Structure 1
Amino acid sequence: MNLKKSYFYITFFTLFSITFFGQVKNTGLPDVRNYKRNEYKGGTQNWNIGQDSNGNLYFANNNGLLQFDGSSWRKYPLPNLTSVRCLKIEQSGKVYVGGYNEFGYFEPNEKGILSYTSLSKYVDKNKIKIIDFIWKIHSIDNQIVFQSFARAYIFKNGKLTILKAPKRFQFSFTVNNKLYFQDIEKGILEYHNGKLYALPNTTSLNNTEIWGMYALAPNKTLIITLEKGLFIYENNTIKPWNTDANTFVKKNNSLGGVIINNKFIVLNSVLDGIIICDFNGKIIQHINRKKGLQNNTVLTSFIDNKNNLWLGLDNGIAYVNENSPFTYFGFSYNLSTVYASVVYQGNLYVATNQGVFYHAWNNSFKEDVFKLVEGTTAQSWNVQIIGNELVCSNNRGALVINGGHVTRIIDSKGYFGFKKIPNHPDYFIGSNYDGFAIFQKTANGLVFKNQVAGFDKSSNSFELDNSYFWLKKDESIYKMALSDDLSHFSSIKKIDQLTSKFRSIGSLQKIRGRIYFQTHNHFYKYSEEQDLFYEDKNLTSLFKSIPIINALNEDSQSNLWYAYDESLGVLMKRNNKYINIVAPFSSLTGNLVSNYLSVNTIDSKNIFIGLTDGLAHYDSAVQNNFVTKPKAFIRSFSFPGDTIILGNNQKKTEKISIRYAANHVRFTFSSPTYENLENVEFSYQLKPFDDKWSNWSNISIKEYTNLREGDYTMNVKVRNSYGIQSDPSTLSFTVSPPWYRHFLAFICYFVLIIIAIYVVSNRIKMKIRKNKYYETIEQRRLYLEKESKIRQEQYDLEKEIEKLKNDKLQIKILAKDKELVNNSLQVVKKNKILNGIIHKLKEIDVEALDDSTKFQVSKLNKSIVKEVNTDKSWKDLEKHIKNVHFEFLKRLKEKYPTISPRELDLSTYLLMNMSTKEIAEIMNISTGGVELARYRLRKKLGLNKKENLIGFLMSI
């Protein structure tokens, strides 16, 4: 069953179940919403209420005229800033208003903003200096009548005529399209063709104020007075209307009222809110401050186009949802969170988180509150009729209730509820905080037998069939078998999923006597023979188009109530078929008790639903026009420097064009849907800016910034609290391009481009000629540069060749130096050897030798000494080294003046890459001495340990 079919069935059922609208219920209270002055930004008192053809509401307020479109409030003060005491809305859309010394009308101007036109300017101020308060406005016979105490001002065809009061007018009323005035001397007067005619026998009311006159029948009129009560004028006679309503008015005074659908009367009071009575004067409802109103003084009442009630209070405004199948028992009836309810022995019992409360079922609920059953002050989970007893499942135990008292405690453990055990007459099983217990129904009532052993988990969701005990705990179920003596569970099996397709288990319920297991809206039954779960296709098909449910109950009328996403729905059984009804229950969304779906169906007119803040009464036989399609309005279109108000009955707005500099636009949306305003949602799409409709949201404002130039169409639609969508409302507008993208700008651009092309082409020709001249000069310059470069390269090449020759020569010199050093070293070695020989010769004892030998030895020694002394190769070597490395030694001496000659020699040897051994031989010192000399040289040169000495010397 899809959603459209559901709405069709809802409409069909509500249209043909009964034959009248607006049934006022006498059970519970309707939903009341208060609007405080800080919400509507006006004065405290609201004297009159009206509604235009678009559904906008208007209030005659102390600070001016208030307008409410369901989303926002607007205030329109009178020119003299006085209080508005009355208003009247014509079909043309004009809103006529009256205040102190001022009357006229508001109508939308070309931008949709209500603009005021004064009619009091037609009054001759020389003759009438003070107009006084205008208290009533009437539209009759194509004329508008403004009534003050002294006179009436009649506006017709652009002219104003004055009707003077015989003595002094009180108020005036329209009854059956006839206009009546109350005069304090002449009584009630009928206005006809510009004259006043006294009604017979009405002067008896001259000493009181009449605040209302309503037709109860063609020749029967109800007259409402301020202090004297209610009267009936019939057959030219006046008599008191001796009813309950009259008693209330005499006690609390009345400021008029209003008729609901020609069946009920709303009576405003000064001291105690309002009452709603039928045409027999029987009070159906009484709503005052204790029952939800923010103020007990009701100045005016009004029935809107949805048959709901609006109240203008002495301080604030109130909305009463009378056109609803729901009424409520909340804090004003002493109820809190409700878990269960039942009717027993003429009382309605309600299990709450504070205990069990009761109220007489056959008495009116208008004034009385629910009373607490003594001894139940604790969390109460359930209240059930077992046998002839009323048993409460309470935190204190299983309690038996009779009247307003607990008469017996069956068991002191805390309990959730009880179920009858199949195949065991007079036996019940109860779910308690420690598991489950067995109870037996006896002649003395229900008695405790034993705690069932073997399982200590508990839940309020359990069922029994002929074979098994089934328990749902979390997202699993337990299949358990009770022993024959009911003392223990003989078998326990935990089941986490019914099929491989779905893992968790949503709910456990008994429908038509069979136990069903639900998961993701698929319903399964258990086959004991095959030990498996199989799907019930018929039941599953009923929930095909329904959101995933989390609880399901079958009531006494075989209706299936289900909970989903904190919302409620029902499959109403009609002629063996189920009709899915969802829309009426949207007002309960978010108020249902989690995991405790409580629906108590007494009959089709009395269904009680447990809520977190009380008890809801649902009458499925009450017609409600909730299925009507809502209307969406684009209420305002704003851009920098201007605002256009729409939906004020003005003429259709022409296509709007705005400057590119004002391309920051703002829209506000509204819908004259005043029921469950918090659940009214909007969706919008700005074409072609948005590709798709926006997500539904209760935000009624949308802004767009930096829109490009082009044509745009804003579409908006509304979805009311029952999920019904409106037709789109549209507004077209154009964003003009910036001056630099305007059509004329592009023409200018084209002309400028032509001129630019002409100028540029001429300049290019001149440039080409210049370029040819400069190109010749440049080529000459490049030729000279190239020639110069070649010469420079030739010179550099010659220098490089010369350097290479010098380097080659230097390499040869170094090689020769090395060779010379080697030769010198060989000489040094030779001299060293010769010196050694000389020393050896000196060691010979020549005295022992003969003369010949002695002579030869002496001769040999002299020749060797001569050879050693005459060898000048080393000095030549030193001289040669100093000549070759003269520049190096000069630079080293200039850079380090303190360096010694011997250190200069060492530096030269190191530069020549001589080894330590070679240096030691040349310098005639030990290798250790060389190392010490190297260390001293490094220190004098200022080198650290990581710097290479030879590399440093080569860099000088």
Structure 2
Amino acid sequence: MQTQYVRWRFLLFLISLLSVTCFSLHATDFVPIVSNFTKKEYKAANQNWTVGQDKHGYMYFGNNDGLLRYDGTSWELFRIPGNRVVRSLLIGQDGRIYVGSYEEFGYFEPKPDGQLCYHSLSQLLKNYTMQNDEIWSILSIGGKIYFQSFTSFFVFDGKTVTGCREPLTFLIFNKYRNAIYTHVDGKSLSRMDPATGQFYPVIAHNAPPDPVISILPYDAHRALLVTTTGGLFLLDGNQCQVFKNDANDLLKKAQANRAIMTKDSVFVIGTILDGAIAINKKGKVLWQLNTSNALQNNTILGIYCDKVNNVWLALDKGVSLIHNGGNVHYVAAFQPSIGAIYDVNIDKSSIYIGTNQGLYIGTVSNLSSNTKSLSVQLVPQIRGQVWSLARFDNQLFVGNNESTYCFDGKNLTPVCDVKGGFCLKRGVINGQDVLVQGTYTQLCIYKKNIRGRWAFSNVVDSFINPIRYLEVDYQGTIWASHLQLGLYRIVLAPDLQHIRSIHLYTHFDGKTPTNITVFKIGNRVVFNNGVRFYTFDDLSKKIIPYDLLNNGLGIFASAYRVLHFRDDYYWFIRDEDAALAEVTNDKVTIVDVIQYASLPGETVDKSETILPVSDSQCLIGMENGLALYQLPNQNITNEVRFPLAIKSVNAMNMDNSEQFRVSLINPKPLPFRLNSVEFTVAFPNYNDLDNIYYRYKLDGFDTRWSDLKTTPYQEYTRLPYNHYVFNAEVVTSTGKVVDRISYSFEILPPFYLSIWAKLLYLMMFIGLVLVAIHRTKIFLLKKKAKIEQMHTELRRKEVEEREQRIMRLEKEKLETELTLKSKELASSTMSIIKKNDILTTIKEELVYQKKQLGTQYPKKYFDKIVHIVDENLSTEDDWAIFQTNFDRIHDNFFRKLHERYPELTSNDLRLCAYLRLNLTSKDIANLMNISLKGVEAGRSRLRKRLHIPPEKNLTEFMIEIK
């Protein structure tokens, strides 16, 4: 209290000194992180009435359109007959989801394929007629299920359903200590006797004036009663008294509607007018959520605490999830806004927040308890961008745009007028204990003065560069990260004012120039180029990869900022997330990961800050807000976690015209036509929704795991027939496998490859073999017959050739004989011609001698000789003999010629014969006893009768006649 008083007195002094009004903010409570779901996400009506969770971890919501199911990734809607509103639901011990609606109630039950199937129980009613019965609550008592409307209730014993109408009106049924309690008009809180269905008043004294809508366990003997507008009461036996708490006035105005007790014994009450409020057993308000800070609607129609202590709200508009089970429990948003938070520092109960608007100082209380609140005020002396808050020996240095200030708990004074104090680090350089500051332009050196207080000493000469991060190693070397150019290695002279040596590293491993950051882990200075970590090797005097970090951090090896938590624990920060890792000399272990997407506010890009406030807690700076992180208890091993499950398996044909939902238990083999299979998995764990990834592998098809995906489904198309095993794994961003599952199935061969088809193919093959054998035999027989025919034909041809040779020989012989005969005939003809010539000459000589001798040559002798000569000249007898021989040699030449040309005379035929013998005109004249002119005239006459054109040779024509 004394420290707080001193601080406020100092602030008032500053206000009066500077005559500036201090900007102040009201106390801001830390409230839980909330995830909101709208109708666009779950694709159903706005209004939700009730909520529950089954043994698999799935969440169910009663919606105006039906029953909603949520598995952490996807939503499904299941309708009831008539598409009625689901007002109430109960997850039974038997796994059924009992639901109630207007004049309709029943249960959904999962089929072997995972699909929910509805069974109506209201149709089993006998001797009962419903009259505007709306089922508002469902309870399980003594193995029976009770469905309650305002004037009736219905009991299902597992086989039959009975209805009971009462002559009174009651509100919601409540289960307390295995009995049913409800508010009955005219009787206040009453207990129902299940055996008789009678209602008996419970409270004898000081009954609440308003209806009791919920009864919750408070301790071993007392119950907490929540009334609609009368506040909270404690019931002990039949005695009732007001429960004093900080929320009574609010609850009376907001109209309580639903209430639960969480697993950490916190009462959460949902109201009609002002959201939800949480109260501990001491009556202290822990938080309130409404449309002003987290919720999308103020009307709470249903409320439920799940198995990991998260609270679900069914709203008049949407669904909200209050994350009580996560490691980041609470977050504060400032009203009005204080801007983007770049650094935070805490000293006992005082908090200092550096933003882009200036420095805020305030009080933070009870960070270690369930009640957390924050109150801050703007320091008027420091305005504009505050980059860093660094505390050394109870002196807080504030790096501001204009200058650097020092606050020692009493006095706030400027210590350095160099603009833009980015960072401030402590180290020993040349044996001197110093602070080194990186700014927009220069390196600044701070030393302790004679009073033992840190004070500005000097700037480093000849160094003008903007330095965002820096570290001093054990040798006194300054490693300074330029905003853009790279990394400086600076060795100062003993006077700490001059640079003895300097080297600029623009890149590592020959890569392109990049922004390089520098941090210290333990006593080792490390660097990061946005890809992996490096360190300086003192022996080789080179920068080398830091394999211990790179291998142990996985994807967080690309962290561009490192912040110390405690001991060997460090935060490694990236754009989307931050990992808390334990770094020892031989091992790096990732302890936890924060996904920035899970926080309601945005972080400050590239300047995220995480401040330790205890050994187990950190504050996370954001845009106009702070989140409180709680380190997980490593000793707790009984954390509730629902296993990864196969939610559905759908088989489809090639064009999706036929679909089949496959059983999840002992599935039957799939026909080949349904060889496209889609798997949907579910991992209903709601605290790490942004740090869950899936990967898949199909044994028998895939050779490696798929890449990490955020989608919980995987499809395989046109799978060959085979036995397969589908494998799915849930993996965190660090690569840790959280859970895995397998599912075996078989795709049958197509009909043409089935056993029956193979038997048919075997029979067909045997038939084909037999046919082939038969055809082969026929072919061989035909071939044999063909060969025999060929042999016969060859023999025939040989005989024919032999006969033809004989005939040719005979023909040649005949032709030879014919030639011979022709020659003989020609020779004979020539002989006759010669004979006739001689005889003619002799006759002419005799006639000449007779004329010369006259009478001297007796006529008697002359005539005798002339007669002998005339007798031996060619006669008709010679011609007849010649014609006969000519026809014999020349194949009836005269007969054929006479048949073709009957008008030919005997002299014409004789001339034709002589022409065929190719005799000269002179020879022909001698044979025919005519002159040469007579021969020519005969030729001319013959040409006309034979119709031979002038250009045709007459002798050739005769030779060609066959």
Using structure 1 for the length normalisation, give the TM-score: 0.69
Where 1:70 maps in the other structure, the secondary structure is coil
Task: Report if the CA contact (8 A) 2:147-2:155 is conserved.
Answer: yes
Do structure 1's residue 682 and structure 2's residue 689 form an aligned pair?
no
Task: Report if the CA contact (8 A) 1:551-1:562 is conserved.
Answer: no
Partner residue, 1:609: 620
Shift of 1:580: 4.0
Partner residue, 1:600: 611
Partner residue, 2:341: 338
Q: How do residues 152-551 of structure 1 correspond to structure 2 at under 5 angstroms? A: 152-165=153-166, 167-195=168-196, 196-201=198-203, 208-329=210-331, 334=337, 337-344=340-347, 346-362=349-365, 371-374=377-380, 376=382, 378-385=384-391, 390-399=396-405, 410-411=416-417, 413-420=419-426, 422=428, 428-438=435-445, 450-464=458-472, 468-473=476-481, 475-482=486-493, 484=495, 486-494=496-504, 508-510=518-520, 514=523, 516-517=525-526, 545-547=552-554, 548=557, 550=559
Task: Report if the CA contact (8 A) 2:155-2:163 is conserved.
Answer: yes
Q: Distance in 2 between matches of 1:553 and 1:131?
A: 64
Partner residue, 1:728: 740
Q: Distance in 2 between matches of 1:235 and 1:769?
A: 113
Q: Distance in 2 between matches of 1:588 and 1:404?
A: 39
Shift of 1:743: 1.5
Q: Distance in 1 between matches of 2:505 and 2:745?
A: 63
Shift of 1:560: 3.3
Deviations 1:902-933 (A, max 9, x none): xxxxxxxxxxxxxxxxxxxxxxxxxxxxxxxx
Kindly provide the amino acid, as one letter, of the partner of residue 435 in structure 1.
Q
Shift of 1:131: 4.6
Kindly provide the amino acid, as one letter, of the partner of residue 117 in structure 1.
H
Kindly provide the amino acid, as one letter, of the partner of residue 545 in structure 1.
G
Shift of 1:293: 1.9
Which gives a bigger RCO, structure 1 or 2 (Cα 8 Å, sep 6+)? 1
2:711 maps to which of 669, 679, 699: 699
Kindly provide the amino acid, as one letter, of the partner of residue 615 in structure 1.
L
Where 1:169 maps in the other structure, the secondary structure is coil
Where 1:349 maps in the other structure, the secondary structure is strand
Q: Distance in 1 between matches of 2:152 and 2:38?
A: 35
Q: Distance in 1 between matches of 2:397 and 2:187?
A: 68
Task: Report if the CA contact (8 A) 1:463-1:515 is conserved.
Answer: no
Kindly provide the amino acid, as one letter, of the partner of residue 95 in structure 1.
I
Deviations 1:208-243 (A, max 9, x none): 332211010122111111211111112422222221
The range that moved more, 603-612 or 282-291, is: 603-612
Deviations 1:129-173 (A, max 9, x none): 315211110001010011110011111141223344352111110
Check 1:56–1:722 CA distance in 2 against 1; reply closer, same or farther (3 A cut). Answer: farther
Q: Distance in 2 between matches of 1:562 and 1:347?
A: 23
Task: Report if the CA contact (8 A) 1:187-1:203 is conserved.
Answer: no
Partner residue, 2:890: none
Partner residue, 1:659: 671
2:63 maps to which of 61, 64, 67: 61
Check 1:541–1:714 CA distance in 2 against 1; reply closer, same or farther (3 A cut). Answer: closer
Q: How do residues 743-822 of structure 1 correspond to structure 2 at under 5 angstroms? A: 743-771=755-783
User: Percent of aligned pairs with the same residue?
Assistant: 26
Q: Distance in 2 between matches of 1:465 and 1:406?
A: 31
Shift of 1:93: 1.0
Shift of 1:119: 1.2
Q: Distance in 1 between matches of 2:73 and 2:195?
A: 43
Q: Distance in 1 between matches of 2:642 and 2:255?
A: 38
Deviations 1:569-619 (A, max 9, x none): 445699x99994522535679987666463322322432234578433223
Report the number of matched residues.
749
Task: Report if the CA contact (8 A) 1:630-1:724 is conserved.
Answer: no
Task: Report if the CA contact (8 A) 1:410-1:446 is conserved.
Answer: no
Q: How big is the alpha-carbon RMSD for the aligned residues of Structure 1 and Structure 2? A: 4.4
Q: Distance in 2 between matches of 1:377 and 1:86?
A: 55
Check 1:354–1:658 CA distance in 2 against 1; reply closer, same or farther (3 A cut). Answer: farther
Do structure 1's residue 121 and structure 2's residue 123 form an aligned pair?
yes
Task: Report if the CA contact (8 A) 2:481-2:516 is conserved.
Answer: no
Shift of 1:244: 0.8
Where 2:173 maps in the other structure, the secondary structure is strand
Where 1:171 maps in the other structure, the secondary structure is coil
Task: Report if the CA contact (8 A) 2:364-2:375 is conserved.
Answer: no
Q: Distance in 2 between matches of 1:122 and 1:288?
A: 43
Partner residue, 1:856: none
Shift of 1:436: 1.8
Check 1:438–1:541 CA distance in 2 against 1; reply closer, same or farther (3 A cut). Answer: closer
Check 1:404–1:655 CA distance in 2 against 1; reply closer, same or farther (3 A cut). Answer: farther
Shift of 1:506: 7.1
Partner residue, 1:835: none
Q: Distance in 2 between matches of 1:730 and 1:533?
A: 49
Deviations 1:730-784 (A, max 9, x none): 3333323222222122222222333333334334444444455666778969999
Q: Distance in 2 between matches of 1:277 and 1:589?
A: 25
Kindly provide the amino acid, as one letter, of the partner of residue 414 in structure 1.
G
Q: Distance in 2 between matches of 1:770 and 1:542?
A: 86
Q: How do residues 557-636 of structure 1 correspond to structure 2 at under 5 angstroms? A: 557-563=566-572, 566=575, 567-570=577-580, 580-585=589-594, 596=607, 598-611=609-622, 614-620=625-631, 631-636=643-648
Check 1:370–1:271 CA distance in 2 against 1; reply closer, same or farther (3 A cut). Answer: farther
Deviations 1:406-462 (A, max 9, x none): 875852622213345758999754322111234577789987665432111232322
Shift of 1:71: 2.6
Q: Distance in 2 between matches of 1:481 and 1:308?
A: 56
Q: Distance in 2 between matches of 1:357 and 1:421?
A: 28
Deviations 1:112-142 (A, max 9, x none): 32111111123347x5331521111000101
Where 2:168 maps in the other structure, the secondary structure is coil
Task: Report if the CA contact (8 A) 1:633-1:729 is conserved.
Answer: yes
The range that moved more, 770-779 or 390-399, is: 770-779
Partner residue, 1:814: none
Task: Report if the CA contact (8 A) 1:627-1:724 is conserved.
Answer: no
Q: Distance in 1 between matches of 2:788 and 2:624?
A: 101
Deviations 1:486-527 (A, max 9, x none): 5443543456899999x9997644566x5634676676586x
Task: Report if the CA contact (8 A) 2:581-2:592 is conserved.
Answer: no
Q: Distance in 1 between matches of 2:677 and 2:283?
A: 55
Using structure 2 for the length normalisation, give the TM-score: 0.69
Kindly provide the amino acid, as one letter, of the partner of residue 411 in structure 1.
D
1:670 maps to which of 669, 682, 696: 682
Unpaired runs of 5+ in structure 1? 1-25, 647-651, 788-956
Check 1:66–1:781 CA distance in 2 against 1; reply closer, same or farther (3 A cut). Answer: farther
Where 1:323 maps in the other structure, the secondary structure is coil
Q: Distance in 2 between matches of 1:625 and 1:42?
A: 38
Q: Distance in 2 between matches of 1:228 and 1:778?
A: 123
Q: Distance in 2 between matches of 1:311 and 1:625?
A: 28
Task: Report if the CA contact (8 A) 1:553-1:560 is conserved.
Answer: no
